[in-house]
Amino acid sequence: MELDREDELVLNGEFGETRRMMMEILVTLGKVFDAERMVPIRSAQVSGASYKTIGEYGLQWIRGLDARAAVPAILNPVGMDRDRWREMGISPEFAKKQVEVISAYERLGIRLDCTCTPYYLTITQYGDHISWSESSAVAYSNSVIGARTNREGGPSALAAAIIGKTPYYGLHIVANRKPGLVIDVDGAGAHDASWYGALGYIAGKEAGNRIPYFRGIRPDRDQLKALGAAMAASGAVALFHVEGITPDSRVFSYDPKGLETIPVEQKEISDLYKDIPVDAVAIGCPHCSPDELGAIAHLLEGKHVKKPLYVFTSKAVAGNSRSFVEIIERSGARVYADTCMVVSPCMDSYLAVMVNSGKAFTYVPNMCGAASRIGTLEECINVACS
């Protein structure tokens, strides 16, 4: 792998042990995937931020690092709302450890926006090389924005943040961004984001790590977010195309002839909507956009929740949508920032959780030990209020 003079010096330890170690991570990754060179990145997004997921070993590893990010870098959601953790029922012991993790990242120059939707906060444009690690953000940035990132792990995204470069392989190379299978969807009728989450749940299992090319659907941006997040969770999809909608599908004329084609019928999707009893409802996987907060506020106005209803978003989006947040909280629901239903221990005491997200539908059973039920946003609000 070709390195420039400065990269060689970094690898030789001339700029400190942490930068040497970070360069070694990137070079090793590059060698494994036959990268010929490094490519400068515009931004990084670093997962592995919740003490629930990284534990003591992860905390000690991050604490031992001593360098600063060379490019704008944003942290993934952590295990609690940094201001309202007591209200979430988080134990002081967990909170103390979580604060230590956050401080360790802050010392490395990582922005503490703590969100899986960094695309609402950073300027990321078509063709930008980036190094993001949260799988739903990877799917969105590659597919909806047309930026270029592989599905990084927390350490490799952190290494890229500190070095400001990443190995040039995989989805950074245009030739590797062609579809690997076609998914023909019976998409007739109007659908909400949960329907796209359910479709993504099915499609991700079929696609694995291939690049799907969808025909028959016309999702908006929030629905694309739901679709990509679900496929990244039930499969390992890092990029998808939707005919006539996503930028690469319009820039390159892909010829799907000869590719495996998988049909998805409406019944397969509707079969996922099961009416099981739940004891909590959680919305905001990935973190809610301003429009999604507006839709929740509209549905909750003048109502009172009878079951715990959690809404997750980033602090920045919540701050810019104060009037929606006030309406939602007046109903008794809670809008928490910095965290989510999966990476926080706050959902671990429930037996069954209703969500409107294909990703949360996949992860809640394993990560929270609760059964998951998927429903539309309207159904989620009705269940929370009944």
Q: Tell me how far, at minimum, the Cβ of 340 lies from ligand F3S, in Å.
A: 3
Q: Considering CB under 6 A, how many residues would be counted as binding ligand F3S?
A: 16
Token pair 């245009």: residue: 174
Q: Tell me how far, at minimum, the Cβ of 377 lies from ligand F3S, in Å.
A: 15
Which residues within the stretch 264-323 sit at the binding site for ligand F3S (CB under 6 A)? 285-287, 312
116 near ligand F3S (CB under 6 A)? yes
Give residues with Cβ within 8 angstroms of 247, minimum separation 6.
126, 144, 145, 146
195 near ligand F3S (CB under 6 A)? no
Q: Where are the alpha helices (DSSP H) in 283-342?
A: 290-300, 315-320, 322-330
Give residues with Cβ within 8 angstroms of 280, minimum separation 6.
307, 308, 309, 310, 347, 350, 352, 353, 354
- Kindly list the distances between the CA atom of residue 67 and the CA atoms of 104, 143, 282, 290, in Å, as whole numbers in the listed order: 11, 32, 37, 34
Q: Kindly tell me which residue out of 202, 241, 363, 368 binds ligand F3S, with binding defined by CB under 6 A.
A: 363
**Cα Rg for the chain, rounded, in angstroms?**
21
Residue 281 or 360: which CB sits closer to ligand F3S? 360
Residue 136 or 156: which CB sits closer to ligand F3S? 136
Tokens for 203?
């499609």
Residue 4 or 348: which CB sits closer to ligand F3S? 348
342 near ligand F3S (CB under 6 A)? yes
Binding mask 128-157 for ligand F3S (x = CB under 6 A): ------x-x---------------------
Which residues within the stretch 216-245 sit at the binding site for ligand F3S (CB under 6 A)? 229
Q: Tell me how far, at minimum, the Cβ of 44 lies from ligand F3S, in Å.
A: 16
Instruction: Give the span between the Cα atoms of 362 and 371, in whole angstroms.
Output: 10
Token pair 């990132």: residue: 149
Return the closest-CA partner of residue 44 out of 144, 100, 113, 107. Answer: 113
Instruction: Give the span between the Cα atoms of 88 and 86, in whole angstroms.
Output: 5
Q: Tell me how far, at minimum, the Cβ of 312 lies from ligand F3S, in Å.
A: 6
Residue 160 or 360: which CB sits closer to ligand F3S? 360
Q: Tell me how far, at minimum, the Cβ of 229 lies from ligand F3S, in Å.
A: 5
Question: What is the three-class DSSP state of 214?
Answer: strand
Q: Tell me how far, at minimum, the Cβ of 219 lies from ligand F3S, in Å.
A: 17
Query: Which residues contribute to the site for ligand F3S (CB under 6 A)?
Result: 76-77, 116, 134, 136, 229, 285-287, 312, 340, 342-343, 359-360, 363
